Structure 1
Amino acid sequence: MPTEPLRCPGALTVDDGVELAPHRFAGMVAPAVERAFVAGMLAGHDGGGAELSQRYGGPAATAFLVEFRTRLAAPGGTVGRVGFAAVNRYRDPATCQRALDKQVAHGMIARRPDGGFTATERGADFLAELYQVHAEVTEELWAGHDDRVRRLVEAYGRVLAYALLLAGEPAAEPVPAFDVLAPPHEPDGTPPGVLLLNRIGALRYHRADAHAAAWTAAGHTASSVGKLPDGPERRAIELETDRRAAGPYATLTADERLGVLADLAALPG
């Protein structure tokens, strides 16, 4: 753990009179994380992932392997029924089960007696190749930003570790989507770009769980919250999401939070 806060040239710091509390940071960093994550995943799709998927049967055979890659790539990694439902909370459950059945039929996923599933040997081979594709495309996408990527990997490693610690406390609110995708599988030698992609990917689901808790507390369902127009009620749910998602970011200093925002904003993609 560094003894000095991460800083970026020209970035605002707390000394400049800016106080970036964790709940404010949670709201500000979410779109920056989304942009970087989507850029990495799209690069993976266009840079070999689509061709790789076709070799194994196409999206009908591989879609959930890609979505749950950070758990299923680990030896013995299992996705349980609760986690699967949480990740797919905005999708039709019957449609998801039919899609899962197809991937079982393709021999990529194996169901467990308890309702969960794991990757088959063929599925694990696909995921090993997918990790390699992501290594190549993130290295290209973020070329010339090695120090920035390294800082973000370190920062998000700490945030992820603290999020897991908080989730394990007896009084913690459930985070079922995050629980099934974190910690991400990080075999020895995993390149920094893949570490960053998968760490921020896991933290996206921590916020997704916070958002679901916020709209549930406001009396909404997955269907009704999507139809909620802009206005005070939606804004209140977003602020409550920020509050619930803020906990893990307390492990960073205010200066480090500003540094993370600056580094994410500067990444290409």
Structure 2
Amino acid sequence: MSAGPVSATDQLWLPGHRCAALTAPAVDRVYRAAMAATAAAAGTELRQRYGGPAAIGFLVDLRTRLAAPGGMVDAAGFAAVTRYQDPASCQRVLDKQVAYGMVVRHPDGTLRATERGAAFLTDLYALHAEVTAQIWGSEHTGRLARLVELTGRLLAAARTGQAGDPTEGAGAFGAVAPPYEPEGTPVGVLLLNRLGVLRYHRADAHAAAWTAAGHTARSIVDLPPGPARLAIEQETDRRAAGPYQGLDPEQRVTLLADLAALPG
């Protein structure tokens, strides 16, 4: 029996690991641009209103979990999020946040936002809503809706995981997922936070890849371009591919095209 003609979509089919490789820089570009626009708009003013950088500390990084009522990040998750930073320095930052009354650090290292910390995160979500509405204007309405739907699928698949998935157990993705999305969250905030959480999924895949190759967080930063780094990047793509397997060929192409079309 004939298999029938090959559609244009089938010709554009991307295997999961290749889709993961192409999506990562697109996600980084869009996410970084939105965060930079936030900082340029009123990010500094917002931070100063709550005590400045020393008070805010890691609240922006952990916002998708700590903004949720009762949301917490455990010590292992925090260590994964900050894996490329000096642990002692990170604890000093937390000491200041505790002193400013922005976070509570439990004896086991678990973190949660105080009432004041939660108020900052509420204001941050509002600022992100204003900024994303400006940079991703009405001309991108359909594109944003598609991206929110597709990134939601990716996050759901990543949270389900599989044997060998880098998000199994403690990891940065597990610390920040699922993103807090209260009813009425604007589409721009949904996309921004989902992209941020997806970046941590790849970060965990990358950490698993360089750990398997015998590196540490310090040594991988210093590893120059070459065959060894290329092998780690390819292994990262393989480990990050799982969620993309759940998208059909057309959805994979749509994801990449819509990300490429967003300004930033």
Q: Secondary structure at the match of 1:202?
A: helix
1:196 matches 2:191: yes
Mapped to 2, the partners of 1:32 and 1:252 lie a distance apart of 17
Deviations 1:97-117 (A, max 9, x none): 001100111110111122111
Q: Secondary structure at the match of 1:97?
A: helix
Alignment-mate amino acid for residue 199 of structure 1: R
Q: TM-score, normalised by structure 1?
A: 0.92
1:110 matches 2:104: yes
How far the C-alpha of 1:40 sits from its partner, in A, is 1.2
Deviations 1:136-178 (A, max 9, x none): 0000010021111110000000110111111xx5764435100
Deviations 1:112-134 (A, max 9, x none): 12211110000000000000000
Mapped to 2, the partners of 1:145 and 1:204 lie a distance apart of 22
Deviations 1:50-101 (A, max 9, x none): 1111000111111311110000000011111000000100000000000110
Unaligned runs of 5+ in 1: 1-11
Q: Secondary structure at the match of 1:145?
A: helix
Alignment-mate amino acid for residue 158 of structure 2: A
1:252 to 1:232, Cα distance in 2 relative to 1, 3 A: same
1:240 matches 2:235: yes
2:165, 2:239 within 8 Å by CA — same for their partners in 1?
no
Mapped to 1, the partners of 2:62 and 2:8 lie a distance apart of 37
1:231 matches 2:226: yes
1:98 matches 2:92: yes
Q: Secondary structure at the match of 1:220?
A: coil
1:172 to 1:243, Cα distance in 2 relative to 1, 3 A: closer
Aligned to 1:77: 71
Alignment-mate amino acid for residue 30 of structure 2: A
How far the C-alpha of 1:13 sits from its partner, in A, is 4.9
Deviations 1:229-250 (A, max 9, x none): 1111100000000000000111
Alignment-mate amino acid for residue 209 of structure 2: A
Aligned to 1:6: none
Alignment-mate amino acid for residue 78 of structure 1: M
Aligned to 1:39: 33
Aligned to 1:256: 251
1:14 matches 2:9: yes
The correspondence of residues 53-72 of structure 1 with structure 2, limited to 5 A, is 53-72=47-66
Mapped to 1, the partners of 2:154 and 2:43 lie a distance apart of 28
* Superposed CA RMSD: 1.4
How far the C-alpha of 1:48 sits from its partner, in A, is 1.7
Q: TM-score, normalised by structure 2?
A: 0.94
1:242 to 1:13, Cα distance in 2 relative to 1, 3 A: farther
Aligned to 1:9: none
1:179 matches 2:174: yes
Aligned to 2:82: 88
Query: In the alignment, which of 160, 177, 187 is matched to residue 165 of structure 1?
Result: 160
Mapped to 1, the partners of 2:218 and 2:56 lie a distance apart of 26
Alignment-mate amino acid for residue 81 of structure 2: V
Alignment-mate amino acid for residue 64 of structure 2: T
Q: Secondary structure at the match of 1:113?
A: coil
Mapped to 1, the partners of 2:164 and 2:26 lie a distance apart of 30
Alignment-mate amino acid for residue 102 of structure 1: K
1:215 to 1:162, Cα distance in 2 relative to 1, 3 A: same
Mapped to 1, the partners of 2:40 and 2:119 lie a distance apart of 20
Mapped to 1, the partners of 2:8 and 2:255 lie a distance apart of 12
2:54, 2:93 within 8 Å by CA — same for their partners in 1?
yes
Unaligned runs of 5+ in 2: 1-6
Mapped to 2, the partners of 1:123 and 1:46 lie a distance apart of 22
Moved over 6 A (4+): none
Mapped to 1, the partners of 2:164 and 2:227 lie a distance apart of 30
1:208 matches 2:231: no
